[in-house]
Homo-oligomer: A and B are copies of this chain.
């Protein structure tokens, strides 16, 4: 249950490996999977890519999108908490800037005696382009 390979909550040293990864993440157009990112950086080991991605998530410097079916995609930035619209046809991902789910989740939480730590909301459907193609 406990990981020996402790994942860093923050970076304590700046390294060229991480610079390489960060640059690739920042420059990436749109969303990417861990595998795509790793594949684009043959000089960096997969483990380092995953470690960096994990650390960045904790610091909310990247946002994570759970695509229906279980795949995970990332994007640099996103800034504050937000959600996504995922097109089931073309895979496009749009950010939903405002999170209306906060007030909603608070209401639910008090009704069930829960203290909410976080929530996960993604909307799946068809973007304006794809829905006209049927």
Interface residues of A (CB under 8 A from B): 66, 68, 70, 72, 85, 87-88, 94, 96, 100-101, 104-105, 107-109, 112-128, 131
Contacting residue for A123 out of B72, B88, B105, B122, CB 8 A: B105
Contacts of A120 in B (CB 8 A): 66, 68, 120-124
- A125-B105 Cα distance, complex, nearest whole Å: 11
Determine how close the nearest CB of chain B comes to the CB of A31; give it in whole angstroms: 16
Pair B121/A125 contact, Cβ less than 8 Å: no
Pair A119/B121 contact, Cβ less than 8 Å: yes
Pair B122/A126 contact, Cβ less than 8 Å: no
What are some 12 contacts across the A-B interface (CB < 8 A)?
A70-B70, A70-B72, A85-B108, A85-B109, A85-B112, A94-B112, A104-B104, A108-B123, A109-B125, A114-B128, A118-B123, A120-B121
